[in-house]
Structure 1
Amino acid sequence: MTASTTPMLAKKRLGEALRALRKTRGLTGGEAAELVGWTDSKISRIETAESGVSLYDLEQLLDLYETASAQRVDVLKLHRSSKAKQWSTHAPYAGVLTANYQSLIAYEAECAEQWAYETCIWPGLLQTPKYAHAVISSGPLVQDYDDIDTLVSARTRRQEVLDRTDFELIAVVTLAPLLYQHGGPAVLKEQLRHVLTAMERPNVRVHVIPDNVSAGAYGGSMTVMHFADPADPSVAYLETAVTTEEHTQPQVTRRIVRLINHLQSAALDPPATRALIERRMDQLSDV
């Protein structure tokens, strides 16, 4: 069992460890729940990391599963690690960021590689504050205009992961983010310049799908995160205008990875992407 000092992965590993212990004991989720006086769904939520587990409840499970001393120590270490707090759970972010968004931030801080596909905007890790403000505040879906600055701050703070030497971002976008003037032409020009600067980092690759191919005809956005430890399964997020879905099932994440690989294969390589962005900036030269 691999210990972890990062809360989100520790929580996932804790759930996986408890599932393995239950199966070793020869119990179904329903049988384990009945023996400790819980519902089936509580066992399921703990094992899938949808909810945490108190130390008291954890001790109950470890006793039920007749856990050996060495395994017990490892599981308790995972439990302590899973309780560590991340910045997105504190003020001013707590109560503003959705549970799915907080999960994404936690996984993002711990993953080794992120693949992002966007159709209409630049990925969050590449957005300037002004561009992010324009995107977040536009349209009818803003829940509370008082939260916009907090959401922009969260998006900007997420970008600290780009400073990690053990992190890589591969971003694939359609031509639309180069054209749509969120916030106006001056904001777009600054945003394009920011993308070019980010591409100078050795751990950032950006690919634009040109308008002469049909590969970019997929709506919404997709994000997949891979982790350094092969024991940690990839996590994917699918986002539309009204919802964000988190997927951890391998069969689902594999399909999304294949789709993003297909999109990247149809896109321009980074040098050609840079040239395309520079030409678009020339068109905005009077701004």
Structure 2
Amino acid sequence: MSGSTLAARALGRLLAEYRQRAQLTRSAAARVVDTSIQTIGRLEDGLKTKVSRVWINALADAYGCSDDERRLLLGLAQEMASAQQNWWRPYEDTMKPRFDYYLGLEASARRVSFWRQADVPGLFQTPEYRRAIEWTEHPTMPPEQVERRVEMAMRRKNRLEDKGFEIDVVLSEAALRGQIGGPAVLAEQLRYLADLSELPNVSIRYVPHDAPGHLGSVVESFVLLEFPKLPATGMVEPPVVYIEGFVGDLYLEREPEVRRYRHAFGEIGRVALDPATTRQIMLSRAKECGE
């Protein structure tokens, strides 16, 4: 479990809350610890991975924090410091901006729910399927960089072995029929999905084209991530909705936004076929592709 990203998010959220309560600007906070406004912004956005006790105590003094609030901030900073180094650090030079933040959230989550309109979630992709996507999106990318991206995608699969990590996937029919990489690649991908669907912590469902009108036809692909308690503090971070875009990604954290996407996932799931039927359809489709 990657406690670092989750603890950084919790710490940043609390520091922003305490600063606003004290009616101080980010500029004033930056002067307290002799740093830039941009650094304070990264800290409050959960993007700063190392924060000293000196900083925490100075900010807690400036914000008029209680003893309990100070201990909570220090506990989160310690949790960030003691977390294991993230496995994806060696790949940071090849991933798109801020995707490391998503990987940290995914590594920390207890449950993820995917709605995919056109393709298979990265966590479930075969090497050939992933490679075909990379070549489609980046036809001029050096082959060695493509291979490093494929390697990174495959390392994400270690999370599937965690029995406490629940994955609920709803796929559109287009995701099961899209000719990414050609029929042979798609057939292999579908057989792999059928195998994964038998894991006790994985649910894969399918929405056919002729399903009654549903929100999936107007809601873009998204991921809803939910989190366990942080080990040191017992805090539970609010869920996050992640939307991956072609030119930029979006993270939604406000409760009304998350509630709407949770409702959308439930409505899409309502018209999806059950996991057993979905598995048979995937195997049948894989057989068609192989003929």
Q: Quick check: TM above 0.5?
A: yes
The runs of 5 or more residues in structure 1 that have no matched partner are: none
1:262 maps to 267
Aligned counterparts of 1:172 and 1:250: Cα–Cα separation in 2? 22
SS in 2 for 1:11: helix
Q: Deviations over 1:120-173 (max 9, x none)?
A: 111111111111111121145776554211111111111111111111111111
8 A Cα contact 1:172 1:207, kept in partner: yes
What amino acid sits opposite 1:179 in the alignment? R
Aligned counterparts of 1:195 and 1:136: Cα–Cα separation in 2? 20
Aligned counterparts of 2:242 and 2:44: Cα–Cα separation in 1? 20
2:29 maps to 33
2:280 maps to 275
SS in 2 for 1:138: helix
8 A Cα contact 2:184 2:290, kept in partner: no
Q: Which one of the candidate residues 46, 49, 56 is aligned to 1:49? A: 46
Aligned counterparts of 2:260 and 2:217: Cα–Cα separation in 1? 17
Aligned counterparts of 1:141 and 1:218: Cα–Cα separation in 2? 29
1:226 maps to 226
What amino acid sits opposite 1:163 in the alignment? E
1:7 maps to 4
Change (3 A) 1:282 1:143: closer
What amino acid sits opposite 1:130 in the alignment? E
Stretch of structure 1 that moved more, 205-214 or 77-86: 77-86
Shift of 1:243: 2.2
8 A Cα contact 1:221 1:240, kept in partner: no
Aligned counterparts of 1:123 and 1:6: Cα–Cα separation in 2? 23
Aligned counterparts of 2:281 and 2:2: Cα–Cα separation in 1? 42
8 A Cα contact 1:100 1:246, kept in partner: no
Aligned counterparts of 1:147 and 1:29: Cα–Cα separation in 2? 45
Q: Which one of the candidate residues 191, 197, 203 is aligned to 1:205? A: 203
What amino acid sits opposite 2:267 in the alignment? H
How many residue pairs were aligned?
279
**Is 1:253–2:258 an aligned residue pair?**
yes
8 A Cα contact 2:2 2:104, kept in partner: no
Shift of 1:33: 2.8
8 A Cα contact 2:2 2:107, kept in partner: no
Aligned counterparts of 2:77 and 2:254: Cα–Cα separation in 1? 23
1:102 maps to 100
Identity %: 26
C-alpha RMSD of the superposition: 2.6
1:128 maps to 126
The runs of 5 or more residues in structure 2 that have no matched partner are: 230-234
2:159 maps to 161
Aligned counterparts of 1:115 and 1:181: Cα–Cα separation in 2? 24
Shift of 1:65: 3.2
Aligned counterparts of 2:183 and 2:135: Cα–Cα separation in 1? 17
Aligned counterparts of 1:261 and 1:100: Cα–Cα separation in 2? 28
What amino acid sits opposite 2:182 in the alignment? G
Shift of 1:46: 2.4
1:236 maps to 241
